[in-house]
Amino acid sequence: MQIILLGYGKMGKTIERVALGRGHEITARIDIDNAVDFESSDGDVAIEFSHPDAAFDNVKKCIERQLPVVCGTTGWLKRKGEIESLCKQSNGAFFYASNYSLGVNIFFKLNQYIARMMNNLSEYEISVDEIHHAEKKDAPSGTAITLAEGIISNVKRKKKWVNIKTGKPEDLFIESFRIDQVPGTHIVKYESAIDDIEIKHIAHSREGFAMGAVMVAEWIKGRSGIFSMDDFLKF
């Protein structure tokens, strides 16, 4: 399979290594310095891990070209609805996930299950911590937002997530930490006067994210539609 990489930072380089190891070919490595080369690049699928400011245009161009695109860039999702509308109109293929790690996606399901159990236990205050490397541009992380959305959809007393503590009981606080050389740690906390419960996922490297993205790229080739990890993993 021929892959176009949109974004060639640390994540893009890890994806390249994984893809080559699985027998694929990288036909273009597009970054801010050679963005114009994308127009003349050919491939079976694009994998997009760039920057929040570039992601929308990158994905839009892929769909307009009928190029299946696998996107993992976070921080641009206010415009995701536009991409989905364009994808439907164009009969394109668009796959988005806030995190491509298979372990994290199991963690998402565990998070939803515990949230349902906690719906009527108002004595527990709920919060999310996310810790990432200092180079990460957006906060909170897309993974933390997905965790928060999973809680809000199952716990009626929580109405929205916030990244600054407000003290309002209906707000779900996500605290963001930026520390050098941390691939990603997420902790969901339930705290009461009697006891605390935590679930945690710790990524030890970017390999898990990259492997998931490449496997999804293999899966989406030849398909059309709007997809998520639930489609890929058949949860």
CATH code of the domain in which 80 resides: 3.40.50.720
Report the C-alpha gap between 9 and 34 in whole angstroms.
13
Radius of gyration, CA atoms only, the chain = 18
Residue 137 predicted with pLDDT over 80: no
Provide the domain count of the chain.
Answer: 2
Range of the structural domain that residue 154 is part of: 102-203
143 and 167 fall within a common domain: yes
Report the range of poorest mean pLDDT among 32-36, 162-166, 173-177: 32-36
175 and 198 fall within a common domain: yes
55 and 118 fall within a common domain: no
Report the C-alpha gap between 46 and 1 in whole angstroms.
11
Torsion of CA 125, 230, 10, 203, to 10 degrees: 50
Q: CATH number of the domain that 159 lies in?
A: 3.30.360.10
pLDDT at position 235 is 62
pLDDT at position 200 is 98
Q: pTM for the complete prediction?
A: 0.81
Give how far Cα 167 sits from Cα of 162, 173, 212, Å: 10, 9, 37
What are the residue numbers of the active site? 132, 136
Q: Are 34 and 10 in contact (CB under 8 A)?
A: no
Residue 183 predicted with pLDDT over 90: no
54 and 118 fall within a common domain: no
Residue spans of beta strands (DSSP E) within 69-207: 69-71, 93-96, 125-132, 160-162, 171-178, 184-191, 196-203
pLDDT at position 61 is 96
Q: What is the mean pLDDT of residues 95-99?
A: 94
